[in-house]
Structure 1
Amino acid sequence: MYDMKALYQAASVEEAVALRLEHPAAQIIAGGSDVLVQMREGKRAGAELISIYGIDALRGVSMEPDGTLRIGSLTSFSHITRDPLIQKYINVLGEAVDQVGGPQIRNIGTIGGNTCNGVTSADSASTLHAWDAVIELTGKNGVRRLPIRDFYIKAGEVDIRAEDGEIQTAVLIPKESYEDCFGHYIKYAMRNAMDIATLGTSVNVRLSADKKTVERARVAFGVAGPVPLRAATAEAMAKGQIVSLELAERFAQAVTADINPRDSWRAAKDFRLHIAVESAKRAFIESVKLAGGEL
């Protein structure tokens, strides 16, 4: 049984905002794959819930006039993986969320819930950071957009202003962030399925027209710090460099300047550093190959 004080159901974004303003302490629930588990464990006993699962306007992937990819916050992982726009422009995101839990979780779990949890191990988080995602929030003051790096405040906390009635309405990927870019995601976990990431690594590159030079490289990690983060030192080092295996090695070694994984029962800090370097190298090589480069 679920110990809850009340459940309110919103049929529109406007109604969700109004309910949020009326019940600022209430927990937003979408698919419920995290919230309901926490309630069964007694962590949210007596909670008020606002369900936004019935707001169909928050589902689906579309392209805005300026080329921005818009992913509604209630879009399920399964939908993202199969969506033609995702497959064409940012297939790595579909591959990343396809590693969340099992089929049942991927059918019910949403991109909004995965990011709003604020956990560094979320499989979507490192890829969204690597692709410069923008989070759209809607509240009483209208729409607010902020880079995903600013959305994550600390472990388990994100910048959603309950006092303004805000809910997350979309995840946006600007055209500049995905155009001519190719990426690869590596999840390291103790099991091949149904496991939380020990480390998540997402890399993408844009190569020159002749496929010999790195015009831009991005690398982001989950579980390499309290929140998902980018390795800016490695990105800056790779820019403008000739594609080679030696560059892949230097790129991978450079990530250690910006990450700070912790010791935990899942893995020691030194082990996480080791797999961060190795996975960055492998993901860089695979990204270059996907972009048409040769190493």
Structure 2
Amino acid sequence: MYNFEEYFEAATVAEALDLLVDHPDLTVIAGGTDVLIKMHHGQLAKASLLSIRGIQSLQGIQQLEDGTILIGPLTTFTQVINDPVIQGQIPVLAEAAASMGGPQIRNVATIGGNICNGATSADSAPTLLALNARLKLQSRQGERVVPIQEFYLGPGKVDLKPGELLTAITIVPADYQGYGGRYIKFSMRKAMDIATLGVAVLCRLREGNILADVRIGLGVAGPTPRRCPEAEAYARGKAVTPETMKTIGRLAVKSTRARTSWRASKEYREHLVAELTRRALRAAISRAGGEGIA
């Protein structure tokens, strides 16, 4: 069923990095919900695997003294959903995690694998984009930090160089404190389906009804997850009105590169972007303290 040539397990990051140098053709596997499917369909025939599942330092979530939230890439989606730091500080990420697959998948699938797979349909990606998440990537040569907006290079392609591992996802206080957020996943089935579109919106208010900041992350609106800079720039400083929200939705479409597939036509996806951005923004405004004004 799964045709692989070699299998290694690493107990530490240092051990994993050494193995990646000594065996450059290794495919890293964590939860396995993406890699094993590819192997089953023959896309990774005779692969050599490196399991990093047992690396304790890459698991869990913590809030540092300065307020930065650090998410280990081996944290499962179930752990993200139930974590008190996530629930208390960035519940929109728990909302996105809860939309991913079914309970069995969420129990083993990791947030790091969801990012590194490079899929535009990754349920965590739009929210992490809207949160301005930063990714710590480590190799034997050292560590670098990449904004998640720069990590996605193309369909299924990410800025993960040979010999590198994702070791942490970080979100600084300025990017979540005072914000309300909402993630909406649209799919053809009500449960356990790949997104036809995913929309995450974060917003912060001032003076009761002025949009101080709006961030919009989209999944399946192009070959990679993406932000909506034109809509975000328009929103800043605007009063919350039905017309403002409609305009933000329309401008979000300009950031898409939607295409027609068996799941949905290009035109239908663009309609969803405009409508779901507006709906997510209304909910985000309410969660930011603007209940009753949207």
TM-score, structure 1 normalization: 0.97
Mapped pair 1:233 → 2:227: no
Distance in 2, matches of 1:64 and 1:144, equals 19
Per-residue deviation, 1:64: 2.3
Mapped pair 1:264 → 2:261: yes
List runs of 5+ in structure 2 lacking aligned partners.
none
Distance in 2, matches of 1:12 and 1:197, equals 34
Mapped pair 1:7 → 2:4: no
Which deviations, in whole Å up to 9, do the C-alpha atoms of 1:57-85 show, x marking residues without a partner?
11111112332110000000000011111
**What one-letter code is carried by the residue in structure 1 that aligns with 2:283?**
E
**What one-letter code is carried by the residue in structure 2 that aligns with 1:30?**
A
Q: Is 1:211–1:291's contact at 8 Å kept on the other side of the alignment?
A: no
What SS does the aligned partner of 1:216 have?
strand
Q: Which moved more, 1:62-71 or 1:174-183?
A: 62-71
Mapped pair 1:213 → 2:210: yes
1:120 match: 120
1:184 match: 182
Per-residue deviation, 1:246: 1.9
What SS does the aligned partner of 1:241 have?
coil
Per-residue deviation, 1:12: 0.2
What SS does the aligned partner of 2:204 have?
strand
2:76 match: 76
Once the two structures are aligned, what percentage of the paired residues are identical? 45
Which deviations, in whole Å up to 9, do the C-alpha atoms of 1:115-137 show, x marking residues without a partner?
00001000001111111111111
Per-residue deviation, 1:221: 0.4
What SS does the aligned partner of 2:289 have?
coil
1:48 match: 48
The number of residues matched between the two structures is 292
Q: Which moved more, 1:256-265 or 1:109-118?
A: 256-265
TM-score, structure 2 normalization: 0.98
Q: CA RMSD in A?
A: 0.9
Which deviations, in whole Å up to 9, do the C-alpha atoms of 1:210-249 show, x marking residues without a partner?
3211110001100111100011111000101112222111
Q: Which residue, 197, 202, 207 being the options, matches 2:200? A: 202
